[in-house]
Structure 1
């Protein structure tokens, strides 16, 4: 489980995250929704411990000390990797930082379909392959909770189908999964819950099937809800 209490962060006098109190339960996929600038990435970075909050607390799987990849796996996009490193070297570096054994590197390569590209330099990978590598980094420590920020950007159709299956496998294994995305069709296929941010404030949080009015198409309801709350 991930828990935030009154989490707040401001930049240049503007609150990017404004008093967010939320629980993201284990064994579920929560889609973090909101327009550009709503605070989704900032909230993920605060949960991950990459940014320091102005106020509030974060607990992951009952612990307040973050930074252990075996506790929390973090995907924040495919760009923050050294293009000169090979796929295997990148994962080896992450494993060394986290005290993770080499067997998990091999498993992560298999889980993300990157084994045949292990010796390819990151700068020569397609965007989709770099996304898979960023996802592999998040999976490396077999964490109890995972954060994904727009992980579908650049994935082809087989990659999208693979990632859908991965999310459901993670949830079935008891992990807490939070995924920020703009793709509402994917939300209806993979998410159990939604969390809607508007101008840094948490406007809606709950199980998708309970929030969707009876008889309404889930995707259409999500689109209408997003438009009405901005």
Structure 2
């Protein structure tokens, strides 16, 4: 008679054992971390657990690139740098990585006072448990609201208020982000193209002079861009162009920083 040997793995026994382990009462292991808990505060507001707050923060991080581009000085800087490279006639120099990195660090330099104010008003009180998450978010957003409002033209703001079919607000601080952000981006693009136009003029003059000289010399087959490029680079270096551009861009936000 063949004896039943349990030393070899019987798949059915393993499935039954795994089912019994899974079906154990939840009280067997108490982690002590509530997954979802809403606490009603004395003033009527609701506070969520740290687990839900962390989940909300991680979800909000997906919007971080859009926030950096649309709610800071990044848009104006990157557009001006792109127009400058086109005016110089350099298609890939500086590279896109260098331009984006330069724009990010200059954005951080310009936005430092705003970030410090947001940290002081919202983040630090929240970490010290002096404010709820909703109040901290509201306090931290106020410096960004003031920064964008200072850089937004009234005509652009009135345009989006009219498109949204909203009544006039009592104070500019009452304008919601849903209206302020597109108005701010529109104003930033207009300002960036104005600065880019002023940058383009001297390089355009060099192209016209070189093209006229080549035509007078009968050198029709030689591209004026090839000849004018060294002169444009020399002019840009002689006037210390990079320092001038960076200083002008930073100073253009001087009223808000």
Higher helix share: 2
Instruction: Tell me the TM-score range normalised by the shorter chain.
Output: under 0.3
The TM-score, its normalising length taken from structure 1, stands at: 0.25
The TM-score, its normalising length taken from structure 2, stands at: 0.23
Higher strand share: 1
The higher relative CO (CA closer than 8 Å, separation ≥ 6) is in: 1
